[in-house]
């Protein structure tokens, strides 16, 4: 049974309704629970279960570039047999917002964030050293806002 088949109505609302904004509050999960008819503990337990099942990769804020700390887009040319291994290594870093595969010579892309430029460079270099592969640093030259939220389709 795939994850989609195991999601109940509240799981689906949790994923869909809050993908573009968790309440800015001292207890955001309690506020989410109020909207869903759940307790704060139930929201946290559902998010933990969804994360462990692979339906959620990250719960947390995304800050505008150059407003808080430092960030960059990075890419790696990973031999296909090593892609899953290197993607797991990259995902293990809390400084990585997300990573994804692309059909290109540079086939693994990810966004790095850190408190400052020196920390960003340290993590980028460590990832490259541990993977045994160079990391292409692609700092932002122009800012564009792209809303990545979209209504989820349940089949």
Encode pLDDT of 87-135 as tens digits. Answer: 999 999 999 988 899 999 999 999 998 999 999 999 999 999 999 999 9
- DSSP E strands: which ranges in 45-124? 70-76, 96-101, 108-114
Token representation of residue 107: 């086939």
Q: Evaluate whether residue 146 is within a structural domain.
A: no
Q: What is the mean pLDDT of residues 61-71?
A: 71
Q: Are residues 47 and 9 in the same domain?
A: yes
The tally of domains found in the chain comes to 2
Q: Are residues 77 and 132 in the same domain?
A: yes
Q: Are residues 14 and 48 in the same domain?
A: yes
From the list 61, 32, 62, 26, the residue with the least C-alpha distance to 44 is: 32
Encode pLDDT of 4-45 as tens digits. Answer: 567 888 998 888 888 777 888 899 999 999 999 999 999 999
Cα distance between residue 36 and residue 18, in whole Å: 11
CA distances from 83 to 78, 79, 109 (A): 6, 6, 11
pLDDT at 59: 79
Q: Is 84 exposed, middle or buried (0-12, 13-18, 19+ CB in 10 A)?
A: exposed
Q: Are residues 75 and 116 in the same domain?
A: yes
pTM recorded for the entire structure: 0.61
Domain assignment of residue 115, given as a range = 70-138
CATH number (domain holding residue 113): 3.30.70.3460
- Give the containing element (helix H, strand E) for 3: helix 3-6
């Amino acid at each position: 049974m795939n994850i989609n088949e195991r999601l109940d109505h509240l799981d689906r609302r949790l994923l869909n309704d809050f993908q573009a904004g968790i309440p800015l509050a001292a207890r955001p999960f309690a506020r989410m629970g109020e909207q869903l008819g759940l307790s704060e503990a139930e929201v946290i337990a559902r998010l933990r279960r969804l994360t462990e099942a692979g339906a959620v990769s990250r719960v947390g804020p995304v800050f505008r570039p150059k407003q808080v700390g430092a960030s960059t887009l990075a890419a790696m040319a990973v031999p296909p047999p090593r892609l899953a291994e290197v993607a797991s290594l990259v995902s293990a870093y809390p400084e990585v917002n997300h990573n994804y595969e692309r059909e290109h010579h540079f086939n693994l892309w990810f966004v790095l964030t850190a408190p400052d430029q020196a920390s960003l460079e340290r993590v980028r270099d460590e990832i490259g050293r541990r993977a045994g592969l160079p990391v292409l640093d692609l700092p932002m030259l122009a800012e564009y806002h792209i809303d990545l939220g979209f209504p989820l389709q349940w089949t």
